[in-house]
Amino acid sequence: MKILTLNMHKGFTSFNRKFILHELREAIRGSGADLVCLQEVLGDHQEHSTRYEAWPAGPQYEFLADTIWSNFAYGQNAVYPAGHHGNALLSKFPILRHQNHDVSTHDHERRGLLHSVLEIPSSGTELHVICTHLGLTGGQRMKQLNLLCDLIERDIPASDPVLVAGDFNDWREKAHALLQERVGLQEVFIKAYGKAARTFPVQFPLLRLDRVYVRNLEVSHPEAHTGAPWSHLSDHAPLSLELQL
C-alpha cells in the first residue's frame, strides 16, 4: 500500500497568498496513495466559505476524499469563532473505528492524535494509523510524545502493525530515541538513508519536521517531494512511501 502524509496548510500556499485546494486535490489523486494523512485540515470556516468563490460546500477532507477514498476520519483540534481544523485520514480501506485524543498542553494551541484502526482485506490484520501534528515548543512536544507512547502501550497490541505520520515540528530531532526506546517505532527515512527528510520550507527545505514512524511493517521507496507540483501547494513537502504488512 502507498502512503502520503502532508501538512496541507488549510488549502493555501505559503503565507496564505493563494487558495489552491483544487490543485492540491489533483496532486493527491495523482500520487496514487491508498492512505493519506493530513494535518491542518479545515473542517469548517464560515468566513472563507463566503470569501473564496471555489470554496467547497462541505469539509475539506470530504472534498479531498471525493470518489477516490471512500473512507475518512477527522480529528477536530483547534476551534475558533469562524470554524475549526485538525488532522484527517483518507483511506481506501475500511476504517473500523477511530478516536481523536487531545494532547494539548495550552488552551491557545490545541493538538491531537487521530488514531484510526483499519481493516486490510484478505490479510486478517488490523492496521493502526496515528496522524498527528505536535506543538511548537520542545516542552510541549516531549509531553505529547510521551502521551503518544502511552496511547500505543495502552491501546495497541505489541504484534499489530503501526503507522505514525505527520508534522512533528521536531526540528531538534528529539523524537527518534524516545519513540524507539519506549514503543519500538522506527523512522522510515532514518532507516533508509540515515537521516530524517528535510521538508520545511518546501521551496528550500532546511528543517526535518515531517516524519513517518512504523512498527511491524516493511517499508520501501520513502521519498520527500520538494519539486512540482508540490512546491507551491503548501509550506511543507509531503512524504510518501510504500508499506507491506
Give the list of residues 6+ apart from residue 108 with CB closer than 8 angstroms, or none. none
Q: What number of helices (H) and strands (E) belong to the chain?
A: 6, 12
Give the count of domains, the chain. Answer: 1
Tell me the pLDDT tens digit for each residue of 172-219.
Answer: 999 999 999 999 999 999 999 999 999 999 999 999 999 999 999 999
Instruction: State the DSSP H helix or E strand holding residue 148, giving kind and residue range, or none if neither.
Output: helix 138-155
Please state, in angstroms and rounded to a whole number, the distance separating the CA atoms of residues 87 and 75: 5
Instruction: State the DSSP H helix or E strand holding residue 118, giving kind and residue range, or none if neither.
Output: strand 112-120
Please state, in angstroms and rounded to a whole number, the distance separating the CA atoms of residues 3 and 113: 18
pTM here is 0.95
Structural domain of residue 59, as residue ranges? Answer: 2-244
Look up the CATH number of the domain holding residue 27.
Answer: 3.60.10.10
Q: How many residues does the chain have?
A: 245
Per-residue b or e along 196-217, where b marks 16 or more CB atoms closer than 10 Å to that residue's CB: bbbbbbbeebebbbbbbbbbbb
Tell me the pLDDT tens digit for each residue of 42-51.
Answer: 988 888 877 8
Check: CB of residue 116 under 8 Å from CB of residue 97.
yes
Is the per-residue pLDDT at 64 higher than 80?
yes
